[in-house]
Structure 1
Amino acid sequence: KGCKQLPVIDDGQLVGCVTEQLLSEVSPSKATTLSMYELNYLLSKTKVKDIMITDMPTGTSNMLMEDAAQLLINSGVDSLPITEGKKLVGIITRTDILKSYLELTGVGEFGTRVSIKAKDETGILADITGIIKNFNINIAHVANYDHIGSDDAGEIIIRLASTETDELIKALEASGYEILSVRQNLNE
């Protein structure tokens, strides 16, 4: 379920892949005038080797997740076979990339997510983390997003391993930082 691309293996080696789109292209139309017997005969003569893609992007098991994501985007495929030489050792999908992103940003973890508007200047992150350190709160995750179309403002997302953050938020605001949002997750 949800699989849009299947690897084709011959003698343990990756030789190609078959996609959902390729299968629909070789399948008869629902409006066909062929009988069920004729359809079965035609489909029984269609070989995977005749329809598979042989020139496809692949990744390696030591590839960085961000490089795999870029390769998926650039190639327009939904999954990336992972090989060692020509041997298939795994498959990474767009869903795997999204799960990795959620893990990287700490979505679903206990704590507080603070979004701070911040200029792209040297020392801003150090200043913000210094303020957090003064409250003895652990930083679980940090992400920085540039706002497209904005010359100097971005967004720093900090996930804190605490829900006791009211005084910290006041201190950040008193230091001149604009707090865009504060969201707490009480699930442990």
Structure 2
Amino acid sequence: MFVSNHMTPNPVTITSGTNIADAAHVMRKNKFRRLPVVDDGKLVGIITDRDLREVSPSAATSLSIYEINYLLAKMKVKDVMKKELITVRADATVEEAALLMYNNKIGGIIVVDEAGAPVGIITETDIFKCFVDVMGLPQGKTRITLDMADKVGAVHEITAVFADLGINIGSMISHSLVEGKAEMVIRADIPDIAVLSARLQEKGYPVRHVVQIG
């Protein structure tokens, strides 16, 4: 899973000299929440819909519409854009991009090439779609959650049960809960969940939850 396969390529950009009113129009027209700011081919900042809201007059203002438009036309993107940028390369993994967004509490990252020029944007929506695709949710397989010991060989023992029953695993993921214990989530076409559950129980991996999603 690489950023290049899940980002929105060729992002719309604006210059730092663009006025706030025009930047807001571009965002509304294209339903964007963020725009890279590029001067002479170089990424110099990013502006978001939140930045625009913070500098726009409130609905309770006594200014006329003409005065508001005049003020917004005079204010430039360079006056409100964020200059400290968090970027990611197109050849980075989706997991790296997701961790950057999580740690910095942001909803999207500009994707840059080797020269630092913007080539795309990856957002929380793209990450979410990637998760849905990787887990195979649209295929409508049976999802089981089982308890497992966090030990070497556990995955081999679990998958061996599926292999013995001729069940092909569509997706599988595990994560630690507390020290020595973990949880595994498997999606597969399971013809008889009772038989599978019994076999896994015999191996010491009880099935805790079963659901059909998709």
Q: Same fold (TM over 0.5)?
A: yes
User: Structure 1: how far apart are the matches of 2:55 and 2:192?
Assistant: 60
Name the structure 2 match of 1:151. Answer: 179
Name the structure 2 match of 1:3. Answer: 32
User: Structure 2: how far apart are the matches of 1:22 and 1:182?
Assistant: 44
Letter in 1 for 2:146: I
Aligned residues with identical type, % of pairs: 36
User: Structure 2: how far apart are the matches of 1:71 and 1:64?
Assistant: 11
* 1:93 matches 2:96: no
Q: What's the offset of the Cα at 1:143?
A: 0.2
CA RMSD of aligned residues (A): 1.9
Name the structure 2 match of 1:56. Answer: 85
Letter in 1 for 2:197: I
Unaligned 5+ residue runs, structure 1? none
User: Structure 1: how far apart are the matches of 2:118 and 2:197?
Assistant: 49
Mapped contact 2:197–2:206 kept (Cα < 8 A): no
Alignment of 1:21-170 (within 5 A): 21-84=50-113, 85-147=115-177, 150-170=178-198
User: Structure 1: how far apart are the matches of 2:158 and 2:64?
Assistant: 71
Over residues 42-75 of structure 1, what are the superposed CA-to-partner deviations in whole Å (9 max), with x where a residue is unaligned? Answer: 1110111221112110111100111101111122
Look up the SS of the partner of 2:88 in the other structure. coil
Mapped contact 2:168–2:188 kept (Cα < 8 A): yes
Letter in 1 for 2:136: G
Over residues 125-179 of structure 1, what are the superposed CA-to-partner deviations in whole Å (9 max), with x where a residue is unaligned? Answer: 11111111101111111100222xx332211111114444432222112333211
Letter in 2 for 1:171: R
Over residues 60-111 of structure 1, what are the superposed CA-to-partner deviations in whole Å (9 max), with x where a residue is unaligned? Answer: 1100111101111122221100011232111000111111112222222232
* 1:180 matches 2:182: no
Unaligned 5+ residue runs, structure 2? 1-27
Shift >6 Å, 4+ stretches: none
Q: What's the offset of the Cα at 1:113?
A: 1.4
Look up the SS of the partner of 1:100 in the other structure. helix
Report the TM-score, using the length of structure 2 for normalisation: 0.78
CA distance 1:119–1:171, change in 2 (3 Å): same
Mapped contact 1:137–1:160 kept (Cα < 8 A): yes
- Number of matched residues? 184
